Structure 1
Amino acid sequence: MAHDLASLTHALLDAARKAGADSADAFAIDGTSVSIDVRNGGLEQAERAEAIDIGLRVLMGQRSANVSASDVRPETMEAMALRAVAMAREAPEDPYIGLAEADQLARDWDADALELFDDSPEPAPAALEDDARRAEAAALAVTGISQIDGASAGYGAQRIHLAATNGFSGGYARSSRSISCVAIAGTGTGMERDYDGDSRIFQSDLRLPEDIGRTAAARTLDRMSPRRPKTGAYPVLFDERISSSLIGHLLSAINGSAIARGASWLLDGMGTQVLPAHLSLTEDPLRPRIMASRPFDAEGLATRPRTIVKDGVLTGWTLDLANARKLGLQSTANAARSTSGGPSPAPWNVALTQGSESREELIAAMGTGLVVTSMIGATINPNNGDYSRGAAGFWVENGAIAYPVSGITIAGNLRDMLRSLRPANDARPWLSRVVPSLLVEGLTLAGE
């Protein structure tokens, strides 16, 4: 049974006022998810979940507390409010907390224009199972594939609503549809695996299951009989599948929470060059049909496009209200939250300037080096940017892929790595992080 999320959040606010809160905000989420897993041509697991969660944050002066529940009865909401107020009275003071001012709040947004929800009928479990079976069958049909670790298909639909005593009240819905497949080749210590998958808001945008299965199989076979290259310093191409992780480290370093704590290797980076001069990094939370799009953030501020790095120079942090106040700045409308916690900064859709060369052209330009297609583990020093990760991929000799490699470690410093980026032109435009393959010079590889 569908709940009226707006009514629930306003009931929570009423309960908070009655309990004595100075101000409050309430967050409600309900959703449905269906997931189907197949293996060896048979159904392995089918799961459907329906849930509703409500969260309340109350403020007593400069003290706050958060409570959450999945029970929406009036008596539960009353108890939540009483508990939150009691907790807030005992909480330490924070001079930077507080709701948005009325003139900061989002107004007149158009959630429908963002196309975050596919209003076509929810797919039947049989249809999801058919997608997973088709992906598995396509992968198994490729000569050399010995088994499928798993093929899955899923659907999700979610509604959210945020309301606060400052007068804000708004909500929207989003949906998702996904298919994935993991293929295996070889046996024993010679076994290799790889995957492919796709996740979209609209069913009509989703890639065909057969394409996903065949791609997973091809990637797996390409990894067979890996070697370990000689230890040394080489150029490394981060394949488009994993290149966004490099930009993710940059985004983590400019997160307002890290900056306010003084725990970032880019603490002194504002106004300095962090990328090559011909590259920019932009954020656009208003891109239609993109997973991280949203009309307003978790504090009710209107989201908007912004330039994070312009012509290589860092122009701003990622901020919610509290961290902006700590730094004497304005929020960038990047607050995110769950029902059980308060707001914190998070990036939305980002895009890095694409290059003019293809992935293959960058490989040809490498001479000798490494193409990384997967990584495991991470050791990142948040204070100085030292970087070390396990990696696998392909060795390049004379500008051409020579053989697969695995069991190696790549290391460098993120400041130097990011300033030397050379992008390809192969970014997928429908992702929330549109980042092409990235060539980085002079990383240290630990192999044989």
Structure 2
Amino acid sequence: MSSTSDSENLLSRASELIDLARAAGADKADAVVMRSRSSSVSVRLGKVEGTESSESDDFSLRVFVGQKVATVSANPGFDLKALAERAVAMAKVSPEDKFACLADEKDLARSFPDLELFDGTEVSASDLTDKALAAEAAALAVKGVSNSVGAGASAGMGGLVLATSHGFSGAYQASRFGYSVSVIAGEGTGMERDYDYSSELFYSELEDPTAVGRRAGERAVKRLNPRQVPTAKGLTVIFDPRVSRGIAGHIAGAINGASVARKTSFLRDRMGKQVLKAGLSVTDDPLIVRGSSSRPFDGEGVTGEKLTMIEDGVLKHWFLSTSTGRELGLATNGRGVRGGSSVTPASTNFALEPGDISPEDLIRSIGTGFYVTEVIGQGVNMITGEYSRGASGFWIENGELTFPVSEVTIASNLKDMFMAMTPASDIDRSYGTAAPTIAVENMTLAGK
């Protein structure tokens, strides 16, 4: 899908662009190339509906004149000298930004670990088609499945090439392969939909598409004939891992330094204080070999280390880039992500660490409750922590999943939810945000 020589050529152009920016009057500069290659196939009811292929190497030059900064972007083939001169001219008339900066030279990565992020396997359109068709056929073969929403398969890569005026030069790329299928069970107004998928960095590690399709079909059939349940307060809600990864994502968003600096996080004043139930920990590790969100350096050229963001329930770190760290009076921890004209912090391989109890025992332990398999809507306020989502799933009676439930709303406040969580032991770390099955006590369910 790509080659080392391609990255070396792009690094050479990025370095030349920086030299031209300095010659045009920039005090400092960095140049980044965001690389992307992808091909995909979509099918429905045994027929190919579409094939797509794309590739791009998007250049972005950021220049500093004193504390004034400007960024310009271009596609391959642009005039290097003209782009550099335009960027410097823009910076000279820009307002000052007292926090914008390059990473400190002492923080720059000097060596890059081999994280095994790239699989150069060439996958043809016919191979992708076969995967998608096999997944769909397996789903349609499940008794009770009545139609297909469609299936798809894709192969691609993304990469980063970065050079700076103070000596950093590096590149990496990561591959991604996957397929998914979505089907409908039932007829008329009683139809229910569900899906499944497999996504990996390495092609050989993808699941068998027939297993993925079968699960999608079985999930859809299990949702047939749902009921509403009465409104209840003080209910224990158990989140399926698909949904609990979203809860973990809310934790990541709340401890993002950019949100703290903007005062848009409900945890902005909680550093060093308990924010999760005692015993719970949250980690973030950019250096996991074959990790979904691993990277040898961040968008500023800084290597991040594994951090325990929350330890025994106590908040220990924000996600920080250099500029966000300066705004908060802190040092970067290598979580900068380059996007457009700025570098903002973000998580890498983020995990709400598992507990010791199996998901089956966790369900048995609560007696009566609600097992959530899907949430709907955007009812999460990250400033106040208020949480209200439409939900569907299964009712729990006598410690067992019984009938499907839909058209209900679950509500609480994330601050309270975080203090009332019990994680199971079933974490799947193949996702950039990972979390096990989670039980949350004392939630409100609005039903009939």
TM-score, normalized by the shorter chain, greater than 0.5? yes
CA RMSD of aligned residues (A): 1.4
- Name 1:28's counterpart in structure 2: 33
Letter in 1 for 2:236: P
1:430 is matched with which residue?
Answer: 430
TM-score by length of 1: 0.96
Residue of structure 2 in register with 1:137 after alignment: 137
The aligned residue for residue 331 of structure 1 is 332
Aligned residue number for residue 295 of structure 2: 294
Q: Which ranges of structure 1 fall in alignment gaps of 5 or more residues?
A: none
Residue 197 of structure 1 aligns with which residue? 197
Q: What secondary structure is seen at the aligned counterpart in 1 of 2:175?
A: strand
Please report how far the alpha carbon of residue 160 of structure 1 lies from its aligned counterpart in structure 2 after TM superposition.
1.9
Does residue 1:41 correspond to 2:46, yes or no?
Answer: yes
> Following TM superposition, by how much is the alpha carbon of 1:128 offset from its aligned partner in structure 2, in angstroms?
0.7
1:223 pairs with 2:223: yes
TM-superposed CA distance for 1:254, in Å, is 1.1
Matched residues in 1 for 2:393 and 2:20: separation? 56
Find 1:100's aligned residue among 91, 96, 103. Answer: 103
Q: What displacement does 1:390 show?
A: 1.3
Task: Single out whichever of 239-248 and 15-24 deviates more from structure 2.
Answer: 15-24
Give 1:266 deviation, angstroms. 0.6
* Contact 2:296/2:303 (8 A) holds in 1: yes
Amino acid at match of 1:10: S
Counterpart CA distance in 1 for 2:407 and 2:301 is 46
Gaps of 5+ in 2: none
Question: How big is each residue's C-alpha offset from its partner over 1:346-395, in whole Å with a ceiling of 9 and x where there is no partner?
Answer: 01112222112111211112222111111111222222211111111111
Distance in 2, Cα, partners of 1:185 & 1:433: 30
* DSSP 3-state at the match of 1:304: coil
Measured in 2, the distance between the counterparts of 1:38 and 1:381 equals 37
Question: C-alpha displacement at 1:144, in angstroms?
Answer: 0.9
Pairwise CA distance, 1:274: 1.1
> What code does the residue aligned with 2:50 have?
Q
- Contact 1:5–1:29 at 8 Å: present in 2 too? no
Q: CA deviation at 1:418?
A: 0.5
Measured in 2, the distance between the counterparts of 1:230 and 1:419 equals: 26
Q: AA paired with 1:136? A: E
- Secondary structure of 1:108's partner? coil
Is the CA contact (8 Å cut-off) linking 2:335 and 2:348 kept in structure 1? yes
3-state DSSP of counterpart to 1:378 = coil
1:173-212 to 2 correspondences below 5 Å: 173-212=173-212
Matching residue's letter, 1:395: W
Deviations 1:130-160 (A, max 9, x none): 0001001111111111111111110002332
How many angstroms apart in 2 are the aligned matches of 1:444 and 1:90? 54
1:27-426 aligned at under 5 Å gives the runs 27-73=32-78, 75=79, 77-110=80-113, 113-119=114-120, 121-233=121-233, 234-338=235-339, 340-426=340-426
AA matched with 1:194: D
User: Matches of 1:42 and 1:413 in 2, distance apart?
Assistant: 46
Instruction: Say if 1:117 and 1:202, in contact at 8 Å, map to a contact too.
Output: yes
Percent sequence identity is 46
- Contact 2:248 2:351 (8 Å CA) reproduced: no
The amino acid that maps onto 2:64 is L
**In structure 2, distance between residues paired with 1:126 and 1:50:** 19
Whether contact under 8 Å (2:248, 2:434) holds in the other structure is no
Give the structure 2 partner of residue 441 of structure 1: 441
Task: Give the Cα–Cα distance (whole angstroms) in 2 for the partners of residues 246 and 215 of structure 1.
Answer: 23
User: CA contact under 8 A between 2:138 and 2:214: conserved in structure 1?
Assistant: yes
In structure 2, do the counterparts of structure 1 residues 164 and 186 end up closer, same or farther at CA, with 3 Å as the change threshold? same
Deviation of residue 401 (structure 1)?
A: 1.3
Shift of 1:11: 2.2
- 1:85-109: per-residue Cα shift (whole Å, max 9, x none)? 2222222211111112221111112
Contact persistence 1:391–1:409 (CA under 8 A): yes
Q: Residue in 2 aligned with 1:18? A: 23
Q: Count the aligned residue pairs.
A: 442
Shift of 1:293: 0.2
The alpha-carbon deviation at position 32 of structure 1 amounts to: 1.7
Q: Which has the larger displacement, 311-320 or 428-437?
A: 428-437
8 A Cα contact 1:54 1:72, kept in partner? no
Say which SS state the counterpart of residue 78 (structure 1) adopts: helix
Equivalent AA in structure 2 for residue 122 of structure 1: E
1:391 and 1:373 map into 2 onto residues whose CA distance is 8
1:32 is aligned with what amino acid?
R
User: Which amino acid letter does the alignment assign opposite residue 72 of structure 2?
Assistant: V
Distance 2:81 2:144 in 1: 61
Contact 2:298 2:304 in 1 (8 A): yes
Following the alignment from structure 2 to structure 1, what is the Cα–Cα distance between the partners of residues 244 and 127? 33
Counterpart residue type for residue 377 of structure 1? G
What is the distance in 1 between the residues matched to 2:98 and 2:433? Answer: 34
Secondary structure of the corresponding residue to residue 341 of structure 2? coil
Give the Cα–Cα distance (whole angstroms) in 1 for the partners of residues 229 and 166 of structure 2. 60
| C-alpha deviation, 1:421, in angstroms | 0.7
Alignment check: 8 A CA contact 1:395 1:403 kept? yes
Query: Partners of 2:253 and 2:364 in 1: how far apart?
Result: 32
Name the stretch that deviates more: 229-238 or 426-435: 426-435
Deviation per CA, 1:171-218: give whole Å up to 9, x if none: 011101001000111223211100000110001111010011000001
Structure 1 residue 321: deviation in Å? 0.5
Indicate the larger mover: 165-174 or 184-193.
Answer: 184-193
SS at match of 1:130: helix
Which amino acid in 2 is paired with 1:50?
E
